[in-house]
A and B are shown apart, each in its own frame.
Chain A
Amino acid sequence: MKELKLMKGNEAVAEAAIRAGCDGYFGYPITPQSEIMEYLMYQDPQKTTGMVVLQAESEVAAINMVYGGASCGKKVMTSSSSPGISLKQEGISYIAGAELPCLIVNIVRGGPGLGTIQPSQSDYFQSTKGGGHGDYRLIVLAPSSVQEMADFAGLGFDLAFKYRNPVLILGDGVIGQMMEKVELDEFKPRWTEEEIRRNTPWSTMGKLNNRERNIITSLDLDSHKQEKHVAHLRDKYLEIEKNEVRYEEFQCEDAEYLIVAYGSSARISQKAVELARAKGIKVGLLRPITLFPFPKKPLLNYVGKIKGILTVEMSLGQMIEDVKLAVECKVKVEHFGRFGGIIPTPDEVVVALEKQIIGG
């Protein structure tokens, strides 16, 4: 039975993780996402599903706990906000290098540095281009509602195990803090040791006498082997780009102009589309749901059909680079954004559309 609740985005992702059969959460408090660990500690799932919830001494320790847990084939996760996610980058790089599944939630706040605790989307580059050292990608899911915060927990674990790759839910302070109606999935039981051994034959759960030992490492001192390994990662990322692109279109059928926005900027832009349409402007919204893989082809398909694209981001303009690459610079692409923790209004978006795209 599905269950209907009124929840914050942070609470929704936590509850959905328990229901998705998550084995362990390891975190460290930081605004605006502390409700995730608070909610989990309050629910105390160790007593019901057996899920471990642990407050670590730092973000660095938390992501390395995830590394240890993921190495055992367990469904493990962590969450943080921008400065904390920066601290996790070392561990994320190891996890990507060792090809381990895990779920990471970033409820973005404005930066750089300690920045502000208000919402922002300024971690796009960090999230989609790697983030830590080395050649790697995360699968990045960008929720634009509390419902998607919940849905992406289960989806995130599924994708993480399908590709043996870390999955990042890239929310922001708005998505994390706002309350909405959310429909929650039924409880899925956690995997038993037998199921883990079957589903993740690579995991380090103890070397049974009937198999070779398993080793989880991201190290290969032989550069030829390391090159092969990185080439294998590339092939995996290409596979992900082929199979996992997700996006949503709103009023695009007859559009002469396009807004491209994700997360809470997409919610604002949806309203902006309605306002602009009321003024007779034929504009649609394309909302990338996966930021990696990025919906390149769907955007390229608009070349020749539209006169211009406005990207709306709460940053100085980061996703705009991927949009320009996607349309191969054959369409005019402009950026509009507020940043440093300021959220744009739909009216501001319409003005930007009129000035930068239609009149520009």
Chain B
Amino acid sequence: MSDIVTKEQIRRPENLVYSKTKLLTDKALSYCPGCGHGTAHRILMEVIEELNAQEITIGIAPVGCSVLAYEFMNIDMQQAAHGRAPALATAVKRLMPEKIVFTYQGDGDLAAIGTAETIHACNRGENITIIFINNGIYGMTGGQMAPTTLPNMKASTCPYGRDVTTMGNPLRMTELVAQLPGVHFVTRQAVHTPSAVRKAKKALRKAFDLQKENKGLTFVEIVSNCNSGWKMTPVQSNKWMEENMFPFYPLGDIKVDGQLVK
């Protein structure tokens, strides 16, 4: 007998301390290594699993990097046209109020082309959860300026940096929708450190719990990195995000129990 421990010996059920949720498929993620989407997907599906809500949850995927979210989430899903996910979600929830409905949208989808759908779904107080991944850039199409691109930040369509005098200011959609009476819970989170991931997962859990209680719209922004679009290593991009994104998009709860957090 050798003293060397084999893989088989390690992979015993009693040694198992963590396993991937069954609500994620085995398909390899299409996201760039270092991107926050994968973690966001994981905690989202963990929350749905913890709620035992797989059979009653319908997710709506956007157009953008997460256009193929339905390939990775093992639940019934719809793939919306660019920006229109809140309109689909509105109908799904109105027609089947007993279901759990969420949209998963990037910043171009939610804060540019889908501004009207987002604001009006929020204003009607649709009893859905909107998950908003904000990385300040159009990732999938190759790094163009997004509505959330920071002032002076470079992107392929603002190669000299975003000049706010000609290109407009970054849009804080999350603060904007928090003003609307139909919106019950608004928070901004991140997934770049273990503690941030835990907080973000707690926030998602709260959003879905509130949806189950028919409290109105719940809105979870996750500020994320885009190391490819930002032309950085994953580590550099997380540092840059802390130093530049978080001051402009501060983390924490913005609206709780229908009241703005002072």
Cβ–Cβ contact B74 & A207, under 8 A: yes
Q: Which residues 215-245 of A sit at the B interface, judged by CB distance below 8 A? A: 215-219
Given contacts A64-B80, A67-B81, A72-B95, contact A213 B87 (CB under 8 A): no
Cβ–Cβ contact B76 & A213, under 8 A: yes
Closest A residue to B120 using CB positions = A57
* Contact partners of B77 in chain A: CB under 8 A: 204, 213-216
Given contacts A206-B55, A208-B55, contact A76 B91 (CB under 8 A): yes
Cβ–Cβ contact A69 & B92, under 8 A: yes
Cβ–Cβ contact A206 & B58, under 8 A: yes
Alpha-carbon distance between A205 and B56 when the two chains are bound, in angstroms: 7
Closest 6 CB pairs of A and B: A68-B88, A64-B87, A217-B79, A204-B76, A68-B91, A57-B120
* Contact partners of A74 in chain B: CB under 8 A: 91, 95
Closest B residue to A58 using CB positions = B116
Cβ–Cβ contact A205 & B96, under 8 A: yes
Q: Which residues 189-229 of B sit at the A interface, judged by CB distance below 8 A? A: none
* Contact partners of A98 in chain B: CB under 8 A: 79
Q: Which residues 282-322 of A sit at the B interface, judged by CB distance below 8 A? A: none
* Residue in B60, B77, B91, B95 whose Cβ sees the most chain A Cβ within 10 Å: B91
Q: Which of the residues B67, B74, B87, B99 comes within 8 Å of A56, measured between beta carbons?
A: B87
Closest A residue to B113 using CB positions = A60
Alpha-carbon distance between A57 and B58 when the two chains are bound, in angstroms: 23
**Chain A residues packing against B (C-beta within 8 Å):** 23-24, 26, 52, 54, 56-58, 60-62, 64-69, 71-72, 74, 76, 90-91, 94, 98, 193, 204-209, 213-219
Alpha-carbon distance between A209 and B54 when the two chains are bound, in angstroms: 8
Alpha-carbon distance between A67 and B90 when the two chains are bound, in angstroms: 11
Given contacts A68-B90, A204-B76, A207-B76, contact A57 B116 (CB under 8 A): yes
* Contact partners of B120 in chain A: CB under 8 A: 56-57, 61
Besides the known contacts A71-B88, A74-B95, A218-B79, 18 further A-B residue pairs in the complex with CB atoms under 8 A apart: A24-B91, A56-B87, A57-B120, A58-B116, A60-B84, A60-B87, A60-B116, A61-B90, A61-B117, A64-B81, A68-B60, A68-B91, A69-B92, A69-B95, A76-B91, A204-B77, A215-B77, A217-B78
In the assembled complex, the CB of A206 is this many whole angstroms from the nearest CB of chain B, namely 5
Closest A residue to B92 using CB positions = A68
Q: Which of the residues A68, A207, A209, A215 comes within 8 Å of B87, measured between beta carbons?
A: A68
Mask, B54-80, CB within 8 Å of A = 1, is 111110110000011010001111111
B89 interfacial contact with A, CB 8 Å? yes
In the assembled complex, the CB of A116 is this many whole angstroms from the nearest CB of chain B, namely 27
Closest B residue to A26 using CB positions = B91
Cβ–Cβ contact B91 & A206, under 8 A: no
Alpha-carbon distance between A72 and B89 when the two chains are bound, in angstroms: 11
* Contact partners of B99 in chain A: CB under 8 A: 205-206
Cβ–Cβ contact A69 & B76, under 8 A: no
Closest B residue to A93 using CB positions = B81
How many B residues have CB within 8 A of the partner chain?
32
* Contact partners of B56 in chain A: CB under 8 A: 206
Cβ–Cβ contact A61 & B95, under 8 A: no
Mask, B81-121, CB within 8 Å of A = 1, is 10010011111101110010000000000000000110010
* Contact partners of B67 in chain A: CB under 8 A: 219
Identify 28 residue pairs between A and B in the complex whose beta-carbon atoms are under 8 Å apart, listed by A's number. Answer: A54-B91, A57-B117, A58-B116, A60-B116, A61-B84, A61-B87, A64-B91, A64-B117, A66-B91, A67-B81, A67-B87, A67-B88, A68-B60, A69-B95, A71-B78, A72-B58, A72-B95, A90-B81, A204-B77, A206-B54, A206-B58, A207-B57, A207-B75, A213-B77, A214-B77, A215-B70, A215-B76, A218-B79
Cβ–Cβ contact B70 & A217, under 8 A: yes
Cβ–Cβ contact B79 & A219, under 8 A: yes
Alpha-carbon distance between A35 and B38 when the two chains are bound, in angstroms: 48
Alpha-carbon distance between A216 and B60 when the two chains are bound, in angstroms: 9
Q: Which residues 145-170 of B sit at the A interface, judged by CB distance below 8 A? A: none
Alpha-carbon distance between A271 and B79 when the two chains are bound, in angstroms: 49
Cβ–Cβ contact B84 & A67, under 8 A: yes
Alpha-carbon distance between A216 and B120 when the two chains are bound, in angstroms: 24
In the assembled complex, the CB of B93 is this many whole angstroms from the nearest CB of chain A, namely 9
* Contact partners of B68 in chain A: CB under 8 A: 219
In the assembled complex, the CB of A72 is this many whole angstroms from the nearest CB of chain B, namely 6
Cβ–Cβ contact A23 & B95, under 8 A: yes
In the assembled complex, the CB of B103 is this many whole angstroms from the nearest CB of chain A, namely 10
Alpha-carbon distance between A318 and B80 when the two chains are bound, in angstroms: 33
* Contact partners of A205 in chain B: CB under 8 A: 58, 76, 96, 99
Given contacts A61-B116, A64-B84, contact A204 B91 (CB under 8 A): no
Closest A residue to B96 using CB positions = A72
Closest A residue to B74 using CB positions = A213
Alpha-carbon distance between A23 and B92 when the two chains are bound, in angstroms: 11
Cβ–Cβ contact A54 & B94, under 8 A: yes
Cβ–Cβ contact B78 & A216, under 8 A: yes
* Contact partners of A215 in chain B: CB under 8 A: 70, 76-79
* Contact partners of B88 in chain A: CB under 8 A: 64-65, 67-68, 71
* Contact partners of B95 in chain A: CB under 8 A: 23-24, 52, 69, 72, 74, 76
* Contact partners of A204 in chain B: CB under 8 A: 58, 76-78, 92
In the assembled complex, the CB of B90 is this many whole angstroms from the nearest CB of chain A, namely 6
* Contact partners of A219 in chain B: CB under 8 A: 67-68, 79
Alpha-carbon distance between A208 and B67 when the two chains are bound, in angstroms: 23
Alpha-carbon distance between A66 and B84 when the two chains are bound, in angstroms: 11
